[in-house]
Amino acid sequence: MSIFTELAHQYIDGEWLAGTGSWDIIDVNPYNGDKLAAITVATVEQVDLAYRAAARAQRVWAETSPYTRRSILENVLRLTAEREAEIVEAMIDELGGTRTKAVYEIQLAQEFLREAIQLAVRPEGRILPSPVAGKENRVQRLPVGVVSVISPFNFPFLVTLKSVAPALALGNAVVIKPNQNAPVVGGGVIAKLFEDAGLPAGLLNVLVTDIAEIGDALLTHPVPKVISFAGSDRVGRHVGAVAARHFKRTVLELSGNSALVVLDDADLDYAVDAAVFSRFVYQGQVCMAANRILVDRSIADEFTAKFTAKVKGLKTGDPREADTQIGPLINSFQADALTALVDRAIEDGATVLVRGTTRGNLVEPTVLTGIAEDSPLLGQEIFGPVALLVPFDGEEDGVRLANATPYGLSGAVHTRDVERGIRFAQRIETGMIHVNDSTIGDEPLAAFGGEKASGLGRLNGSATVEAFTTQKWISVQHGRTAFPF
């Protein structure tokens, strides 16, 4: 039985169910247009069922031995490794990413599972001193309760597990709302792994639905205490505002407009390799992708020649073929919008260095330069295979241009002088930046998140513990307090 036949359902309180809405989400292979599944949307009533089931199960789960929780997560890791080949095939079909991208995603997800396994037995309480004689202060770290995870289409397996696995390890229950373009890889596959690993019913639920059906029910329901959202800043602003009105904590991983900066002493061949990867991995549909490639003017001509030559050699086509480097965009809306964006940029005076064609959802790489500094194109996130080359005049100008964006998620700087690179990196208004590497990076122990319009909060390592736990102060007075009245 196909993954898309078996797992294209709602998963509520340990049962695989049909949605009770009046319309279907159609899951489509973005490369060839094949219908993978039709999933009837979940309703507000099913949202309530999922949250109520999670709340009931979580109370028992929080009292379960951390070693039991760890054992279940170990089972999930084992099953993920055993099913890796099958999951990779599903990723290619549902997401349109290349095989290389799919393997990278599932293997990195396994690293995050290994870290979550350790989190199950890591949280500790503290005993703090008190200025009051005879008083003992204990601070306990407790699970928040129920976490809502709203995940994106681009890395749905990895990004969803980054919240789900540690949240469960720390004693919480979870309700997932996967992206409509990745309902199986970002939802059903994950639920099946945890079900087969022995996770008790109700602790993990999957709702495949849409705001058109349920409105803000996922956000306003009284049960969830934390909303972990990854997606656009437009939707993220709404999620954050609604959650705040209902006193819910949020972790928001939002849009980016990363700059990869090439200083005048960089290793140009290496910088070109890093820039091409940073811009075009998964067709540029990555929040950390290098939208803007800033190059010191003294080396701009040489860099541009090498960069454009490498881009022209990228193969666009069937993501199942081993040598394909650029697959399809996720849907026709995105492909058409990106093509129109490039057309407008050229009409506004941008210089075309490489111009790819659009064939259905396949959009070949485009490289533009000569873009006016006040052009909105430089300030927005471009979710597709379009690179913008921008020259600058010295470090100060490079810092200024790198920071000239409302976003601040990731970045990179290339130089032969590592300490120079670190000094430069410290001046960039971004949550993450890499010296002599790609703009794209994620590791289990390093805090992941953005500044400005790129989000709020952090995940990974100790930041994950902060995100999915709360603290309780319990004081004990040994002896008697002398009250003033």
Hey, which residues are catalytic here?
253, 287
Cα 220 versus chain centre, distance: 22
What is the b/e burial string over 33-62, where b = at least 16 CB atoms within 10 angstroms of the residue's CB? Answer: eeebbebbbbbbebbebbbbbbbebbeebe
- Give burial (CB, 10 Å; 0-12/13-18/19+) of 257: buried
| DSSP designation for 402 | H
CA-wise closest residue to 260 among 245, 244, 277: 277
Cα angle vertex 473, ends 469, 475, to 5°?
Answer: 155
Q: 173 in helix, strand or coil?
A: strand
CA-wise closest residue to 258 among 453, 481, 393: 453
Question: 């990854």: which residue's tokens?
Answer: 230
Alpha-helical regions (H) of 2-98: 3-6, 44-61, 66-82, 84-95
Please, how many CA atoms are within 13 Å of residue 23, restricted to the half-sphere of its CB?
8
Which tokens go with 362? Answer: 């396949």
- HEC-encoded secondary structure of 429-469: CCCCCEECCCCCCCCCCCCECCEECCEECCECCHHHHHHHE
Q: What are phi and psi of 34, to 5 degrees?
A: -65, 140
For residues 187 and 179, the answer to whether their CB atoms sit within 8 Å is no
Which tokens go with 422? Answer: 């670190």
Alpha-helical regions (H) of 96-134: 99-119
Beta-carbon count within 10 A of 126 CB: 11
Q: 202 in helix, strand or coil?
A: coil
Q: 291 in helix, strand or coil?
A: strand
In sequence order, the β-bridge partners of residue 437 are none
Residue type, 413: V
First to last CA, the chain: 75
Sign of the CA dihedral with 335 first, then 367, 434, and 411 last: negative
What is the b/e burial string over 81-107, where b = at least 16 CB atoms within 10 angstroms of the residue's CB? Answer: eebbeebbebbbbbbbbbbebbbbbbe
